[in-house]
Amino acid sequence: MLSASSKVKQAKRFQFLKDAKKQNLVVSHLLGEADWALTENHDKALAAIELQSQYGNSIHLDIEPHTLSSFQRDKTKILAQYIRLLEKVRERHPMLNLSVAIPHHWPEKTYKSLADYVDQVYFMAYGNNKLDIIAERTKNLLNSIAIDKLVLVFRQQEFANEIALEQIINDVMQSTGVFQFAVHKLDIYTQE
């Protein structure tokens, strides 16, 4: 995934995309702001998606509406608006490879609804490194999201080292059957 924020230098991004294409790598453009979930910001979100989709057919939305200050008060309303945004994206871009990031604490109804509009769901399995908790949360998600759509994402800083991270991935795979994983900021392990 490649950040599509304004902080990324365009020349550097274009060179990366060109190099990735030569290596047959699929690059997903990561974008999103929490307030895009709100109906009044859907046009802004759709315009950003439209702009980024011209550079490739894969978009990852990291919107995270649960970070909005009004979320606890208006959770049901905000999540319904978020699902409506995903529906609009799919209507406008039926062939787009669309993925989203989700936390573990949304209602099951929301997971079931969003699964209809996206190709992959990246479950942010953050906040702990305990197999039993991660496996339980993952199994709960599998009630709403097909196993071939679910990608578990770990944060490297929650594990002592890459061996511990690899072990949890193997253990979760054995426990749940999930076979797709990602690591947030993997570059920590790949630097010399």
For the chain, which residues make up each domain, given as ranges? 2-190
**Dist. CA 114–CA 101, nearest whole Å:** 11
CATH number, domain 2-190: 3.20.20.80
User: Could you report the per-residue pLDDT of 11-49, keeping only the tens digit for each?
Assistant: 887 888 888 888 988 888 899 999 999 999 999 999 999
Question: Which has the closest alpha carbon to 124: 56, 66, 49, 80?
Answer: 66
* pLDDT value of position 15: 84
The residue among 166 and 4 whose pLDDT is bigger is 166
How high is the pLDDT of residue 1? Answer: 81
Model confidence, pTM: 0.90
Please list, residue by residue across 106-127, b when 16 or more beta carbons sit within 10 angstroms of its beta carbon and e when fewer do: beeebbebbbebbebbbbbbee
Q: What band does 144 get if pLDDT is binned at 50, 70 and 90?
A: very high
Is the confidence at residue 192, as pLDDT, over 50? no
Average pLDDT, the chain: 91
